[in-house]
Amino acid sequence: MEEKYIGRLIGNTGNPHDLKIVLNDSFAAKRGEFVKIRHVESHEEGEIYLLGRIVTVSRSNILYNSNMGEGLNDLEVFPGAQVSGESLFGTIELVGYSDASGNIKMPRRPLEPGEKVYGVNYNFLASFYKFDENESINIGNLIGYEKGENIVPVYLDVNKLATEHLAILAMTGAGKSYAVGRIIERLVAEMNGTVIVFDVHGEYGKAFAGGTLHFNEGIDKLENPSEIEDLKIIIKQFETLQAAGGGIEIYTPQSESFDFKYAGKNKHLALQFDRFDMDDMTSVLPGLTEPQQRVLGVALRYWKAKYENQLRDIQDLLDLLGPEGVEELRNWSEISSGEAAALNDRSAAVVAMKLARLIYEAASFYSVAVGEPTDIYKMAGDKTSKIGKLVIVDMQGLSDDAKQIVTALISSEIMRAAMDKERQTRPVFLVFEEGHNFAPANTPTISKRIIRKIASEGRKFGVGFSIISQRPSKLDSDVTSQCNTIITMRLKNPDDQRFIAKTSDLYSKTDIDELPSLSTGEALICGRSIPAPLLVKVGYKALIHGGESPNVLKVWGKYNG
């Protein structure tokens, strides 16, 4: 494919983020198009080609100058006549050049003024962005090179993606859940990984509704044959993993509605409440007065001591907060007479009421009636396990507090098991949907504490996460600053744009300016898992995802009565 001549560099060429180019003609280049420029960085390296992206294009004509005012209405140009006085300029932001090791570097020498600028073809881009397909997953194709014969696939380095954390940020309807769905199904099917999704709306669970795998229809109708084949491989691998005891596993609260949704193929959560310490309790049961906290503290200590070295039923803790239980606490030899006298029946009754409501809302705690407690090693798999799985924790319908508690407990247990020197889980990738609710800025929540811990320490123990949000400015900055890969889709809110620019040095001003104009399914990807910032069209998914908005007119229909 012959390379297209676009124009020449003009002016000061010392700023790699603001190179001016005079364009050959009005069809020479479009905003977002990639270009290459010859350069000599050193005599030892010799001639190289730099990759750049056109970020602005301007076109003006002195015949149609705004200063002419109303006189423009009387200006006529003969059809077919050459229009003189036209100025065509563009601005280029350099991506850099690929060295012998495949690393992307920026030039330190200014480019040559007057140097010719050319368009790039498939071969140049494919050789510039080198990926090891054995250690990377395909997220989609480069925008501008996503159709026809010159498709340029874009890959994400799994080791850097899965342990150095990922943020997916976009306004509602931009396709963020679809993008994370594309990523996680490939982490499981292609990389045999373990992914745990905290499914707040039951969207991901639709892939296993009725207790069977569900895949997107219409895959055979896609235009690209290689994409059809790729998705069929994903489907086949999920079926193989499912038959081997992996694939998709569903964990739900203890409710018949979930049993019906998954035809009994779901597993009930039976989380151990004694994993919480007293500091956690103040978050779990907010608004407790000092006397109420005192009663709860004694009850917790006694509960753990009375049932030492055995599983503790949360119903027993609830009983200890009743009238007979409080009397039992007063007679405990491990407390002082002053503590015993301070135990108040009314305070205990308030704590019992709040705890009972929590147990009812979450329906996810261990009691003898439920059976065995949730085994975190069975959920995630230990290091000896060789079967990949997508674990979906369906929390649809739970209160916000209950969702936080379930998420915090499971995440904490995952982290604890990963740090266990005797028995560890296999590396785990956690997915926090609606991240601004689980790790909000300027608001203390029980889930934020463990997410912060994973953000700062998880990489050392093989625990990574993706946090997804349509309101980045509402996210805790300590969490997002630890995300070394950021996928941003359409984002129009100025506060959200400023937050991204402030908390991450991965974005340039040009990148931020690009965000409002992205179409659904288009993403700007920056960070450690990708060689350089790229605009990508996210590819298709194999598994069904329930995040799409309903066609209300189709559902409403017409009334003919």
Q: What is the pLDDT of residues 508-547, one digit of tens each?
A: 777 787 888 888 899 989 888 988 788 899 999 999 976 6
Asked if residue 203 and residue 72 are part of one domain, the reply reads no
Of 78-82, 193-197, 488-492, where does the model show the most confidence? 193-197
Asked if residue 172 and residue 255 are part of one domain, the reply reads yes
Question: Residue 83 pLDDT > 60, yes or no?
Answer: no
Asked if residue 312 and residue 219 are part of one domain, the reply reads no
Question: What pLDDT shows up at residue 475?
Answer: 92
Q: How many helices (H) and strands (E) does the chain have?
A: 19, 19
Question: Residue 25 pLDDT > 90, yes or no?
Answer: no
Question: Residue 296 pLDDT > 80, yes or no?
Answer: yes
Asked if residue 406 and residue 537 are part of one domain, the reply reads yes
The DSSP-derived string for 412-446 is HHHHHHHH-SSS-BPPEEEEESSHHHHSBTT---H
Question: What pLDDT shows up at residue 341?
Answer: 85
Among the residue ranges 49-63, 177-191, 206-220, 505-519, the one predicted with the least confidence is 505-519
Asked if residue 295 and residue 247 are part of one domain, the reply reads no
Cα dihedral 521, 526, 527, 528, rounded to 10, equals: 70
Question: Residue 374 pLDDT > 90, yes or no?
Answer: yes
Domain contains 233: yes
Asked if residue 543 and residue 437 are part of one domain, the reply reads yes
Q: How many CB atoms lie within 10 A of CB 105?
A: 13
More confident residue, 238 or 496: 238
Question: What pLDDT shows up at residue 114?
Answer: 93
Domain boundary among 128, 161, 182: 128
Asked if residue 457 and residue 547 are part of one domain, the reply reads yes
Asked if residue 284 and residue 154 are part of one domain, the reply reads no
Asked if residue 285 and residue 242 are part of one domain, the reply reads no
Token pair, residue 97, equals 């050049």
Domain contains 368: no
Among the residue ranges 10-24, 126-140, 461-475, the one predicted with the least confidence is 126-140
The residue type found at 375 is: D
Question: What pLDDT shows up at residue 548?
Answer: 62
Asked if residue 114 and residue 13 are part of one domain, the reply reads yes
- What is the average pLDDT value for the chain, to the nearest integer? 87
Domain contains 558: no
- What's the total number of domains in the chain? 3
Question: What pLDDT shows up at residue 59?
Answer: 87
Domain contains 560: no
Domain boundary among 128, 155, 180: 128
Token pair, residue 343, equals 């135990």
Q: What is the pLDDT of residues 88-116, one digit of tens each?
A: 899 998 988 888 777 788 899 999 999 99
Residue 181: which CATH number?
A: 3.40.50.300
Nearest Cα neighbor of 194 from 23, 414, 508 is 414
**Three-state secondary structure readout of 187-252:** HHHCCCCEEEEEECCCCHHHHHHHHCCCECCCHHHCCCHHHHHHHHHHHHHHHHHHHCCCEEEEEE
Question: Residue 277 pLDDT > 80, yes or no?
Answer: no
Asked if residue 241 and residue 323 are part of one domain, the reply reads no
Residue range of the domain that includes 286: 273-362
Domain boundary among 362, 397, 422: 362
Asked if residue 249 and residue 392 are part of one domain, the reply reads yes
Which residues touch 533 (CB under 8 Å, ≥6 apart)? 95, 506, 507, 508, 511, 524, 525, 526
**Per-residue confidence band for 136, with pLDDT thresholds at 50, 70 and 90:** very high
Which residues touch 292 (CB under 8 Å, ≥6 apart)? 347, 348, 350, 351
Among the residue ranges 20-24, 41-45, 173-177, 549-553, the one predicted with the least confidence is 549-553
- Tell me the percentage of the chain whose pLDDT exceeds 70: 93
